[in-house]
Each structure stands twice: as structure tokens, then as C-alpha cells.
Amino acid sequence: EKESKLTYLQRAEKVKNVTGRRLLELMEAKKSNLAVAADVTTKAQLLELAEAVGPEICMLKTHADIIADWDEGTGPALAEIAKRHQFLLFEDRKFADIGSTVHHQVSGGLHSISKWAHVINAHSMPGPGIISGLKKAVAETDSEMAKSLGLLLLAEMSSEGNLATALPGYTQKTIEMAEAEKEFVFGFISTGRVAGDDFVYLTPGVKKSAGGDGLGQQYNTPEKVIGEKESDVIIVGRGVYQADNPAKEAKAYREAGWRAYETRVSG
Ligand code: 5IU
């Protein structure tokens, strides 16, 4: 209870992964705990959205594999925008295979994720080998960027009936896998704070009002996610990019998320 009152900056000191620390520091500097999920489908839309919401966000969450015209210039173009506006790139690839396969998936293929992303994520379902495989790719790289890659594990999902939440012990086992690899794993995708202050919690399924999308997504408000459930980062997709003015909407979500955080740490 007492520990959850720590500020993002105080928490940064406890996090071992360099990218996790950097995320918490830039959140405090930008007064933003907002990640925007850029689920658009062309390169032009992706770069335009990144540019528009850049000043408001701590992170841009991408799905490179839904971009119809992704090419080798897309990652570097995103990276340039991220550097200029000071946010991190999180490729939500949700690796889910054996170590040997994810080792190729993170560094190769069309998307070369480890060349431009700061943060990646993985299911814990395959067991610890998935972390070893991703770590091997990081160890073998000659790119400075990939060396500091940070990993998030899916401790819970936001969708109705998801097994991570339904199966007893799943979330706890996932936390144990993360505890064993703290130099690399700096946090979780979860509905709220599920472990200690030395991890960062990121929560998708966030909108101004609670509800669903008819396809299993379940929404909570920024106040509930940050204030009550004690998550750290709200991830907002359609709530922002489907708005008439995404930049203005991102600002509103940033302010709501930050108010909820300030209330939490001062309360
Ligand atoms: N996402 C979820 N729930 C999860 C995980 C990822 O919604 O448990 I792991 C992704 C899917 C989408 C974004 O890219 O987060 C949420 O988008 P909307 O805010 O548009 O629902």
C-alpha cells in the first residue's frame, strides 16, 4: 500500500533494465503516462499519427505487421520522430514461440524489429526459453539500439475470457519468469499493478468511458486504471486515433492519466 505512493522517478531507481528506467524518467519529464496504440494500416498514417501525438506521449505502440506498405525506411522514420519528441517505440508483436524461432522473429524478416523498437513484449505461455531466445538476439546484435531493448511479459490481457486471467497461477508464474530476468524484463502488460515497485505496468483497454467493442475488448477509464488498479501507463488506441483531432484527444488523455497519477502519489 505504502509503496504504490512512490513517484515514477523513485521507481526508476529500482528498475534494472536501462530502457525501463528511461521510460519512467521521460514520463516524469513529459508529465505523460499515455501510450498511444497506433493501429493504423499505412506508413503515411502511422508517421502522421506519431508526429501529431508525439508531444503528448511517453510511448507509441505499433503493430508493424498491419502496415500494408511497411518498408525498410519505416522503422528509421519512426525512430527519428520518437527521438525528436522523446518517446519510446513499443512493437506489440507478442512473441509466442520457442526461443529459437523468436530469436529470428525479433531481429529478421521484413520488420527487423530490434533495429528500431525500444520495447517488445512476449507471452509467457512457451516458458522461459522465449526470454532466452529474445535475449540471444540482443546479445548477438551489433546495433547499439538493440542492446538496450526492454521486454514486457503479458501477465494479463484486457480481453474478455482471456486465459492469462482465468487460469489460476498463470499471472503468478509469469511474474516469477520476469523476476528471474530483471536486466531484460522491466514490466508487464496487465490490468493493474500485479507485482512490486521495481516493475512497470502498462494497461490496454482504456477509454473515456468503460464498455466494450463487441469483439471482446473491455474498457476501463484512466482514473480506474491508474488510480484504483495502480497501473503506470494507459494504452489508448481507438479513443485517440479515431478522434476528429487525435492530437487534442491525446492531450486530454495525457491530462486525465497524469491527474490520476498525481492523486495517487499524493493521496
Ligand atoms: N492490446 C489489448 N489488450 C491486451 C493486449 C494488447 O487491447 O491485452 I497484450 C492491444 C490491442 C490494440 C490496443 O493494439 O492494445 C488497444 O486498442 P484500443 O484502445 O483501440 O482498444
What is the predicted pLDDT for the residue at 145?
A: 74
Four-CA torsion 141, 96, 150, 216, nearest 10 degrees: 150
The preferred substitution site among 235, 241, 249 for testing ligand 1, maximizing ligand atoms within 8 Å of CB, is: 235
User: What is the atom index within ligand 1 of the atom nearest the CA of 189?
Assistant: 9
* Catalytic annotation present for 97: yes
Q: What is the ipTM of this complex?
A: 0.98
pLDDT in tens, 42-67: 999 999 999 999 999 999 999 999 99
User: Does pLDDT of 107 surpass 80?
Assistant: yes
Please list every protein residue whose CB sits less than 6 Å from any atom of ligand 1: 37, 39, 92, 154, 157-159, 189, 204-205, 217, 235-239
Q: Which atom of ligand 1 sits closest to the CA of residue 39?
A: 14
Position 109 scores a pLDDT of 95
58: which 3 cell numbers? 511517453
Q: What is the arithmetic mean of pLDDT over 239-243?
A: 98
Q: Cα(140) to centroid of ligand 1, in Å?
A: 31
Amino acid occupying residue 61: K
Stretch 96-118: mean pLDDT? 96
Tell me, what's the pLDDT at 140? 87
Going by pLDDT thresholds of 50, 70 and 90, the confidence category of residue 1 is very low
> Which residue lies with its CA nearest to atom 5 of ligand 1?
157
pLDDT given for residue 2 in this prediction: 47
- For residues 50, 55, 57 and 63, what is the CA-based torsion angle, rounded to 10 degrees? 10
CA 19 to CA 257: how far, in whole Å? Answer: 21
Interval 63-92: pLDDT, tens = 999 999 999 999 999 999 999 999 999 999
pLDDT tens digits, residue range 144-165? 777 789 999 999 999 999 999 9
Percent of the chain topping pLDDT 70: 99
DSSP string, 139-201: HH---HHHHT-EEEEES--SSTT-HHHHSTTHHHHHHHHHHTTTTTEEEEE-SS--S-TTSEE
Query: For residue 98, what is its C-alpha cell?
Result: 520457442
As a dihedral over the C-alpha atoms of residue 36, residue 153, residue 185, residue 97, rounded to 10 degrees, the angle is -110
Q: Does the annotation list 32 as a binding residue?
A: no
Does residue 61 have a known ligand-binding role?
A: yes
Q: How far apart are CA 260 and CA 98, in angstroms?
A: 39
**pTM confidence score:** 0.97
136 — phi, psi (to 5°)?
A: -65, -40
